[in-house]
Each structure stands twice: as structure tokens, then as C-alpha cells.
């Protein structure tokens, strides 16, 4: 799996800007603050935690987070976790994705056929804990 991609003003990593090759999370203010120091671009998309969130850093270092939608501000930087299509971890079994443009970002949730997906996972021989967690989103 590719661990990082840089394209224009966007940095894509699986886990964190600080250590893209490791499996760390950004759950707290302090983790966000630390990771913004290593963000080489204005925008970073992550996904490892499977918990959708938009984290904003203002030029003065103030950190804010948004659960669903954020408008972009000049000179601000953003770490965006788009969530997961399958295997969510935020107690919402719906699939999550993000719509991103020059004005802002919005995280969208959509239901999908969890039971069908669970049947396919069972047929593929995947572990029960992965199959069961789809129902609960954690």
C-alpha cells in the first residue's frame, strides 16, 4: 500500500502526517497540534481511524474540529478524515465519504446493505469481529 501521496496543495496519508508509515491516530487536540507541524501542504486527507472529522488550524495555532461540514479560510490548514465505506468506527454503520472543493468540505453519510455485505464477508472467511462490527459502526 502506498503510504503517502502529494498532489498540488494536498497531502494524502493513511494514518498521520507525522508518521505516515506508522499506524497512529489523531483523536485529541494535542495529537492534531503535533501533526499540523508536519503537514507539508494546506490539506491532508487521512483515514486510519475510520472516524470522520474535519480539523482546522488557524494561522495563530487555534485548532477547531467539525463533524460534518467546514468552509475553508485563507491561510488555514486542514486535516480531514473522510471516514470509511465499510468498517466505520464512530458508531454509525452508514458509509462515509467527503465532497471537497475550493470552498470547503462536507462529509456525507449514506446507508448501504450491511446484511448483504456481512454475508459476503462470511463467505470470504473473514473474522466474526469484522463482520459483526458493521452492524454497530465500531
Percent of the chain with pLDDT over 90: 59
- In DSSP terms, 124 is beta-bridged to none
What is the rounded average pLDDT of the residues 16-26?
Answer: 86
pTM for this structure? Answer: 0.88
In a domain, 99, yes or no: yes
Among candidate residues 61, 55, 58, 60, the one with its CA nearest the CA of residue 27: 55
Task: Identify the DSSP state of 117.
Answer: H
Q: How many domains does the chain have?
A: 1
- Give the pLDDT score at 48: 80
In a domain, 120, yes or no: no
* Domain encompassing residue 84: 4-111
In a domain, 85, yes or no: yes
- Please report which confidence band the pLDDT of residue 138 belongs to, taking 50, 70 and 90 as the band edges: low
- Give the pLDDT score at 70: 98
pLDDT in tens, 64-105: 999 999 999 999 999 999 988 877 778 788 889 999 999 999
* Helix, strand, coil percent content, the chain, rounded in steps of 5: 20, 30, 50
In a domain, 29, yes or no: yes
What is the rounded average pLDDT of the residues 27-37?
Answer: 93
CATH code where residue 106 lies = 3.60.21.10
Cell of 94: 452508514
In a domain, 117, yes or no: no
In a domain, 137, yes or no: no
Give 118 or 92, the one with higher predicted confidence: 118
In a domain, 132, yes or no: no
In a domain, 48, yes or no: yes
Amino acid at each position: 500500500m502506498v503510504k503517502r501521496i502529494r498532489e498540488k496543495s494536498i497531502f494524502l496519508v493513511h494514518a498521520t502526517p507525522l508518521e505516515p508509515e506508522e499506524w497512529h491516530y489523531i483523536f485529541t487536540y494535542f495529537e492534531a497540534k503535533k501533526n499540523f507541524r508536519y503537514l507539508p501542504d494546506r490539506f491532508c486527507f487521512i483515514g486510519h481511524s475510520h472516524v470522520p472529522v474535519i480539523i482546522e488550524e488557524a494561522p495563530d495555532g487555534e485548532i477547531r474540529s467539525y463533524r460534518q461540514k467546514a468552509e475553508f479560510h485563507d491561510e488555514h490548514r486542514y486535516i480531514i478524515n473522510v471516514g470509511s465505506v465499510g468498517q466505520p468506527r464512530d458508531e454509525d454503520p452508514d458509509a462515509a465519504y467527503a465532497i471537497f472543493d475550493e470552498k470547503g468540505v462536507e462529509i456525507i453519510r449514506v446507508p448501504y446493505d450491511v446484511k448483504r455485505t456481512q454475508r459476503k464477508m462470511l463467505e470470504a472467511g473473514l473474522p466474526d469481529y469484522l463482520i459483526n462490527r458493521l452492524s454497530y459502526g465500531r
